[in-house]
């Protein structure tokens, strides 16, 4: 009776058993993040075990708040794309210590948290044109897929052409191709948890071929959080180079989270006359998770589009999210097997490539025949992977879009905040070259 009143099972035409099945479905579909996120952040020099625990705890915190307070069947975990941006661009590309990068995540998350309590959040969402939002999401997808290709050695650096095909006779390359084919077969046949199952099947094949060995034990008590917990450097984040990074973390998290939440709510039939009920609690769930995640030692969190698999299985209430959080908790004791799986690029790279592809679905929302809208989105789309920076892609779009409108005599169509972004990113690009 209590659960029915709390989660409104009857009102939303669902049952506890249906919600449990939905929660299990969502968890299995998105559980690849438990392996992939520590693997990506480990490349930035962060301790694998620390990030592994931080990933799970941040996911539990955000997903529980989403379930208990917002009552939505939406799961939260560290976002794909932002983790790659954290490791490969900020830490490895710019040479910024991961502690300072975590500090920038903390600042962006606190800003997100505070703005989630105000109407300014909605103004920011409305300020960015839909075409640019779609371009940002698609560009991040290309960037993530590109990193997956690199890790798999399917593309490599070339002095003559900058980039070229890798040597497919290398074990890491042909095993990655095998893993990618397995995952694609599962995906096109609509197999639930295709990405996760693809990783597991590839791991089994790799084990049979002698490329990986099983750990001495599969289970262990959670250890290692001390290597990342409270190691963020907030003062180090207040540098000119990181201002744009903080803005990018905030902006992408805001759009990604809001867009995913609205999409899942529409799929579940929970939107009311185009209105997103209890949106403040839903946004707070992600903001709080990102804030605590930066303290624990992980990149920004985001609402997961994989929550749609749970909704398709019948999930309609926050109890689905509670089930997901409980299952995340049990994963705390599987660090040894997770580390083995994460250590093999052929297991994690196909996941990055496929997730990147799925993120590009947003490009359908761009009117490619309208050059004023599509050209800035195009620059966002290709500039991210080619400049190896999400910040550069976002900046290119936010500069070009208002300039095109100005030269077309449509200044009144531009939200005032876009002029602010225009000036800030011009200054950022000038400072980068000095």
Q: Do 411 and 405 meet the contact criterion of CB atoms below 8 Å apart?
A: yes
> What is the spatial distance between Cα 352 and Cα 301, in angstroms, rounded to a whole number?
17
pLDDT at position 433 is 56
pLDDT at position 116 is 82
Q: At what angle do helices 416-432 and 240-267 cross, to 10 degrees?
A: 140
* pLDDT over 70 percentage in the chain: 97
Quickly state the pLDDT bin for 196 (edges 50, 70, 90): confident
Whether 5 shows a pLDDT value over 80: the answer reads no
Quickly state the pLDDT bin for 162 (edges 50, 70, 90): confident
pLDDT in tens, 235-293: 888 887 788 889 888 888 877 787 788 778 877 888 776 667 777 888 899 999 999 99
Q: Do 357 and 145 meet the contact criterion of CB atoms below 8 Å apart?
A: yes
Highest mean pLDDT among 244-248, 295-299, 359-363: 295-299
pLDDT at position 341 is 86
Q: How many CB atoms lie within 10 A of CB 138?
A: 26
Quickly state the pLDDT bin for 126 (edges 50, 70, 90): confident
Quickly state the pLDDT bin for 432 (edges 50, 70, 90): low
Task: Please tell me which residue, 196 or 55, carries the higher pLDDT value.
Answer: 55
């Amino acid at each position: 009776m209590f659960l029915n009143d709390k989660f409104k099972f009857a009102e939303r035409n669902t049952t506890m058993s249906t919600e449990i099945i939905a929660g299990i479905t969502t968890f299995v579909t998105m559980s690849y993040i438990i392996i992939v996120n520590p693997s990506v952040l480990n490349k930035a020099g962060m301790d694998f075990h620390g990030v592994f625990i931080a990933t799970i705890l941040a996911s539990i915190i955000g997903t529980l708040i989403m379930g208990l307070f917002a009552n939505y069947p939406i799961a939260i975990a560290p976002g794909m794309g932002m983790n790659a941006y954290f490791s490969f661009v900020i830490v490895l590309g710019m040479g910024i210590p991961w502690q300072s990068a975590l500090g920038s995540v903390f600042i962006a998350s606190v800003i997100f948290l505070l703005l989630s309590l105000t109407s300014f959040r909605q103004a920011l969402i409305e300020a960015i044109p839909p075409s640019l939002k779609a371009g940002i999401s698609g560009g991040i997808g290309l960037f993530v897929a590109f990193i997956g290709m690199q890790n798999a050695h399917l593309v490599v650096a070339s002095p003559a052409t900058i980039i070229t095909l890798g040597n497919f006779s290398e074990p890491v390359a042909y095993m990655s191709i095998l893993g990618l084919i397995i995952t694609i077969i599962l995906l096109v046949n609509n197999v639930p948890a295709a990405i996760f199952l693809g990783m597991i099947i590839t791991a089994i094949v790799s084990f049979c071929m002698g490329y990986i060995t099983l750990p001495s034990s599969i289970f262990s008590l959670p250890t290692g959080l001390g290597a990342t917990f409270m190691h963020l450097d907030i003062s180090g984040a207040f540098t000119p180079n990181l201002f744009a990074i903080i803005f990018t973390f905030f902006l992408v998290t805001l759009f990604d989270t809001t867009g995913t939440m609205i999409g899942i709510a529409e799929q579940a039939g929970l939107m009311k006359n185009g209105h997103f009920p209890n949106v403040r609690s839903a946004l707070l769930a992600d903001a709080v998770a990102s804030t605590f995640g930066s303290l624990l030692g992980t990149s920004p969190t985001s609402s997961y589009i994989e929550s749609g698999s749970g909704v398709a299985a019948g999930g309609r209430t926050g109890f689905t999210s509670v089930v997901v959080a409980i299952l995340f908790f049990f994963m705390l004791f599987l660090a040894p097997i997770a580390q083995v799986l994460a250590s093999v690029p052929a297991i994690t790279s196909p996941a990055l490539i496929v997730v990147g592809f799925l993120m590009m679905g947003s490009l359908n929302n761009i009117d490619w025949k309208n050059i004023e809208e599509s050209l800035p989105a195009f620059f966002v789309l290709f500039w991210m992977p080619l400049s190896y920076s999400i910040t550069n892609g976002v900046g290119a779009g936010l500069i070009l879009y208002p300039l095109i409108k100005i030269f077309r005599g449509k200044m009144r169509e531009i939200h005032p905040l876009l002029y602010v972004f225009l000036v800030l990113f011009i200054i950022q690009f000038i400072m980068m070259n000095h």
